[in-house]
Each structure stands twice: as C-alpha cells, then as structure tokens.
Structure 1
Amino acid sequence: MTELELRLEAFVKLGDLFRKFCKISKNNEHLKENINEWFREFDETIVLAGHKNGWFIRENILFCLEKWGALLTRDNLVNWLSDYTILQNKPKTVALIMAGNIPLVGFHDFLVTMLTGNSALIKLSSNDNVLLPFVIKYIIFTAPALKNKITVTEGKMVNFDVVVATGSDNTTRYFEYYFGNKPNIIRRNRNSLAVLTGNETVEDLNALGDDIFRYYGLGCRSVSKLYVPKDYNFNIFFESIYTFNPIINQVKYANNYDYNKAVYLMSEYKLLDNGFLMLKEDESYSSPIATVFYEVYDSLKDLELKLEAEKEKIQCVVSKGVIDGEISFGQTQNPSLSDYADGVDTVEFLIKA
C-alpha cells in the first residue's frame, strides 16, 4: 500500500466511524454499557465539546459528523482527487491555524493537507479544541505510520513551509505580518446572504431557515443578510420560518436575542421581530446573533453587479434562479468536497506551493 493509499484508507475509516456513530446516536445506542469503546470515547468527547463551548450542542455536532460521514467514502474521495496530480506534490509541513466558530470548521483544511501527502502542524481555536484531537487520535489508531505527520501545538509555530490560516479581519492583519514571507492562504471574515423575489414558496423559505439558524448563524456559510424587493411581505417569511422558534429556548441564543433587542430599542432602530429573530434594515453583511439584516433592491441586475463588486466579502448567495453561482435554499451547510472556502482551491495551492 502506497502512502497516499494509506492516508486515503484512514479517512475512509473515519467516515465509517462518523456514519456508524451518528446511527447509534439517533437510536440512543451510545448509552449502552457494551458499546464499542471508540463510540463511548466519541460520545464523551462530544459532551466535553459542549461543556467547553455552549454553542456546540449535540444536535449540531451530529449534523456536522453526518455531513462529513456522507462525504468521506472511497468513491467520493477518489473522484474528488482524480482532478489533481497529487503525486507531483513535494511533501511539506503545512501550518494550519483554525477557527472555532462551528464544530470541526477546520477539518477540510486538515483533510486536504493529509491527502496531498503533507504533514500538518495545527493550532486549534480555544473554542474548538476537543473534536479534532479525537479525530486525529482515531486516524493514528487506524494508520500508525501517520503519527509523526500530525502535530497539534499550543505554542509558537515554527518549522513549517506553508500556511493556511482562518480568522477575523483583525487577526488576519497579524497573520499577514507574521506569515507573509511564506506561501499562504489567509482567510478573512465572509458572510452569506439570500436574494428573495417574493415568488418563493413556503417550502423555500422554511429551507432558508436552516441556512439562517443552523449553528446559530455562527458559520460563514450562515445567511446573515436578505435582499428583498420593494414592498416585500415579511409576514410570509416569518410564517414560513416559525418552525424554528424552539431556538429561543437555547440560553446563549436567548441572551443574545434579549441583549441585541435592548440595544436596538434604546437606539430607536426600526425592527421586525417574531419573538426569536429580528430583522433590521442595514447595509452591512455581518449581523449579530438572533438578527438578520435586510436591504431593499430596485433592480436584480443592479444587485448582481453590486454583489460581484463585493464578492470578497461574500461566501454564499442563496436564491432560486436569480443569481449566477447561487446555492439552493437550505443547502449552505451542505458543501461538497470541492466547495473551497473563499473559492480558493486548497488542493491545487498545496501541490504547487
């Protein structure tokens, strides 16, 4: 077995673990005394992740694992990598600086690094420093030869060749100063938005609710802004997303809702509010938790030109037969293996770096 095949097999086995664990979790079999030790440890890891980060509820972690489990099959991985000349890669050490806004948000960078034949030097976010170490432990268990190819560090990052870093607009200034002399991908803040025409069905708008509320809107693929035509009927929108109202029972979400509502009311902003989501007219793309900004457009053609001019700020555009490159309602949190963050092909980058 070649090293590439060894690495591929390790991630295929990881996908199998994810799928089986999600299945037993749905049936509550993870609570049985005689459960597989890896499943038991995985369950304990998920509980710990939730304790360390209150946004990481079990439902969202399992959603993440289920999506990755569906992607990590031999056929999917082979088909994805067949578009690249992996064997041309010269092995290097890749410094991975990961965000922690949603569960396993940096996993794709780790996957790419390993499957292109490189070593990973990882700095985790304090908000998500439990799940990936378990994943790494399992990969090394299935492929012990990879033990020296993966390092997680809490200190200063040294002895690396390439950098892939994800952070805020503020931290990227530091990244650019510190890592600017190395080949790098440095990602800034991006947001996702939806363009509505008023012709959407209840089913479309309900699916949009998943794009808004999944991971509490903390992901860069979460919709934080709506573009609507003049005289848009927001009642239909609110009625369509009402099934998501239990989200207000999550304490951290409710606290943010109450705080942001108080700030808006003291500032005498005009709000549209249904008791668990506020809509505020605002030109910004990035909205606070429990809030979605909206803006009225006059012409779809002019709006498309505007979005093209500001594409560096945008991760996803959700619409239905309106915008080139659009994503269907309800699909922002279902990226494929080739949906690269910020549209930068990390496989190609690492091969050529």
Structure 2
Amino acid sequence: MNINERIKALSVLGNKLNELKDDKVGGEFWQLLITAENFNPWFTQENQQMALKNIIAMLDKEALENWMANYADKDLSESDLRVGVIMAGNIPLVGFHDFMSVLISGKVFVGKLSSSDKILMPFIANLLVEIEPRFADKIIFEDELMKNFDAVIATGSNNSSRYFDYYFGKYPNIIRKNRNSIAIIKGDESAEQLKELGKDVFYYFGLGCRNVSKILLPRGYEIATLLDNFQSYDKVSMHSKYLNNYEYQKSLLLINSELHFDNGFLLLREKPELATAVSVMNYEYYDDYDAEIRRLNMQNDQIQCVVTGKMDVNNAVFFGKTQSPSLMEYADNVDVIEFLTSLKN
C-alpha cells in the first residue's frame, strides 16, 4: 500500500466507527462496549464513547492528509520493520494513536495490550483488516513483547520505564514515563471557562496523563469559585470505584488533620506535587504570573499539558480541550512519525 491507500482505509475505518458508535441497545457493538465495561469498570459506556469520538475525529480524511503533509520529505514507503508497541490502559484506547502511526508509516505493528484494555483495540484492528485486507500482515498482537521486533514504543509508569530501559534500551525506542497536566488560573476567567476546565479534571475520572491533577492560582483567589463551577460534574460520585477512592482519600486527610477543600466529590489540598490520587487535586498559589510561566517552561519533562486561557506557555491547551488532542499533539512532545520514518532496515 502507498500512503494514499493507507489514508483511505483509515478514513473508512473512521466512517465505520462513526456508524457503530450509535449502535442500538442490544446491538453487537453496544454489547462489546458492555463487555469492555464489565472487564474494566473504569471504562464506562460514556468514557468509551468519548474515546471513540476523538478517534473518529483523528480518522477524518482531510485531517489525516494534513497530518501526513508535514512529512512529505520522509520515507513512508512499505517496510517490514516491526515496531513493538506496549500500550497503556489508563483510559480507553489510549494506544490508538501509536497503532495508527505505525500503520500509516508503512511499518508492522506488534502490539502488547494492557491488561486493562483488551477488548476494543483488537476489534478495531479486525475492522480495519476487513476494510483493507492488506493490513492483515501489518497487525500482530502478542501476549509478551520480548523478541522479533526492530524498535519499541512503550508507555508506562516511572517504575515500568526502568524495566523498559533495561530490556529495550538497545533498540531504537520511545519510552514514556508518568506525566501529569496542570492548569494555571489568572483570576479573570469566565464561568464558562471554569466549567470547561472541569472537563480537563473529571473526564475519564482524571485517570489520563492529559487530565489536570494540579492547579495554580493567584494568591487570594477564592477556591469556592472553582468548586462552584465544577458542581455540574458531580455525577462522577455515582461511580462506585471513583466514590470509593474519594471516601478513602477523604478519610486520610481527616485522620491526618490536613487542611483541604471538599465539594462532595473532589478534594483540593495545597501541595506542590504534580501527581495525585483519583478524586484529589493539588493546588498552589503564585504571586508573579510571568515567573510562574517561566517555572512551568522549565518542567517540560514532567508536564503533558498546561491548561490555560492564553497560549503563552509550553504545552498550552485551552480550557476543556485536553482530551481531544490533534494528530500533531504527540505524547511527551516526541514526534512518533519522525521516529518511525528514521528507522532503517
């Protein structure tokens, strides 16, 4: 297949998924989503549909063509190079962009699924093969990924990244560690902007690396303003696993007499750390906005996104947009297509 044939097949996949996502109750695809939720309760129907909606947008033919136009001078010809992809499983189909990148670049995808996300990805791969049978030799799923590959893309925790470095360091690789996202508030945001920020906090129950886990506030900012505008996301507390996390984290804060704010489903505490537990968000006050922007720009290796109303900082994303990245918004700012096209037989 040439690049145009790959783009055509992927765009047809997007059209097919768009038809399937509205499957009637009791239909085959609807049942698949139920199965995935039963397998991993964090993958609610709503969260799976959200992931599918974002993938469908990625698979738009014009979007794919514009994406590949950035690599007009690169070698995108067919190749038998095998790229091992170790997928994360924190949110539904989080590894799809890597899957698509390997295939659209002409390489062979050798994937190891996360134990948390084993239902939808093989289904989508099979659907793509039905659309374009020549992809059958380009898609392989393995239970273990220890041999028979030429390069590796691995996503995991800081702990697993050490394992990845040890086993895969001799291969060309992209190894991703833990990252978190942060929001910075100036104090003049509208209620609508703050409600949009709630999407960045609560979508996927806050489990994604693009979810906001910490917020920077101008000193004197009324946190009640923030919590009032988050109130419309209280349905997360109806999810048993989220609620269990919230109640557990709340009990820890109370036992330790730790000052915090609580709106009934989100706990805010003043801490400098980026990473937090589910249902907890850290906050920190700042005195000088420009100095804070400079500090954020020095933390590029830890931050996935900075949610803001202004594009005056590295990795900036507008309020409410973290969970719908464009094709060129690569995880950890590492251009996957650039990496793939640099591989040589």
Shared fold per TM-score greater than 0.5: yes
**Deviation, structure 1 residue 86:** 4.5
Say which SS state the counterpart of residue 110 (structure 2) adopts: strand
The percentage of aligned residue pairs carrying the same residue is 39
Check if 1:222 corresponds to 2:211: yes
Please give the secondary structure, in 2, of the residue aligned with 1:327.
strand
Within the alignment, does 1:178 sit opposite 2:167 as a pair?
yes
| 2:331 aligned partner | 341
Q: Select 2:340's aligned residue among 333, 340, 350.
A: 350
Mapped partners of 1:120, 1:68: distance in 2 = 18
Would you say 1:240 and 2:221 are equivalent positions? Answer: no
Instruction: Say which is worse superposed, 69-78 or 274-283, in terms of deviation.
Output: 69-78
Shift of 1:304: 1.5
- Residue 258 (structure 1) shift: 0.2
- Structure 1 residue runs without a partner (length 5+): 33-39
- What is the CA-CA distance between 1:303 and the residue it aligns to? 1.0
1:147-190 CA distances to partner (integer Å, 9 max, x unpaired)? 12111010343111110000000000000010000000000000
Give the TM-score taking structure 2 as reference length: 0.95
Residue 36 of structure 2 contacts residue 120 of structure 2 at CA under 8 Å; is this kept in 1?
yes
Which residue is equivalent to 1:16? 15
2:297/2:313 contact within 8 Å kept: no
Q: What is aligned with 1:37? A: none
One-letter amino acid matched to 2:56? G
Q: How is 1:20-31 mapped onto 2 (pairs within 5 angstroms)? A: 20-22=19-21, 24-25=22-23, 30-31=24-25
The amino acid across from 1:288 in the alignment is A
Could you tell me how far apart the structure 2 residues matched to 1:314 and 1:251 are?
29
Q: Which residue of 2 aligns with 1:277?
A: 266
C-alpha displacement of 1:322 = 6.5
The aligned counterpart of 2:62 is 75
Hey, what's the Cα distance between the residues in 2 that align with 1:294 and 1:226? Answer: 5
1:319/1:329 contact within 8 Å kept: yes
Q: 2:302 aligns with which of 298, 304, 313?
A: 313
| Aligned-partner residue type, residue 222 of structure 2 | N
The one of 24, 36, 41 equivalent to 1:49 is: 36
Asked if residue 165 in structure 1 is aligned to residue 154 in structure 2, the reply is yes
Quote the residue 2:179 is aligned against.
Answer: 190
When residues 145 and 180 of structure 1 are mapped into structure 2, their CA distance, relative to the original with a 3 A threshold, is same
| 1:96 partnered with 2:97 | no
1:19–1:70 CA contact under 8 A, matched in 2: no
Using the size of structure 1 for normalisation, the TM-score is 0.93
2:45 to 58, 65, 70: 58
Change (3 A) 1:46 1:231: same
- CA offsets per residue over residues 123-149 of structure 1, 9 Å max, x none? 010000111000011011111121121
1:122 lines up with 2:111 in the alignment? yes
Conserved? CA contact 2:84–2:145, under 8 Å: no
When the two chains are superposed, the root-mean-square deviation of aligned CA atoms in Å is 1.4
Post-superposition Cα deviations, 1:245-304, rounded to whole Å, max 9, x if no partner, equal 121111111000000111111111111001111101111101111111001111112211
Q: Hey, what's the Cα distance between the residues in 1 that align with 2:241 and 2:198?
A: 19
Q: Aligned partners of 2:339, 2:298: CA distance in 1, in Å? A: 24
| Letter paired with 1:271 | H
Greater share of residues in helix: 1
Name stretches of at least 5 consecutive residues in structure 2 with no aligned partner: none
Matched residue, 1:331: 321
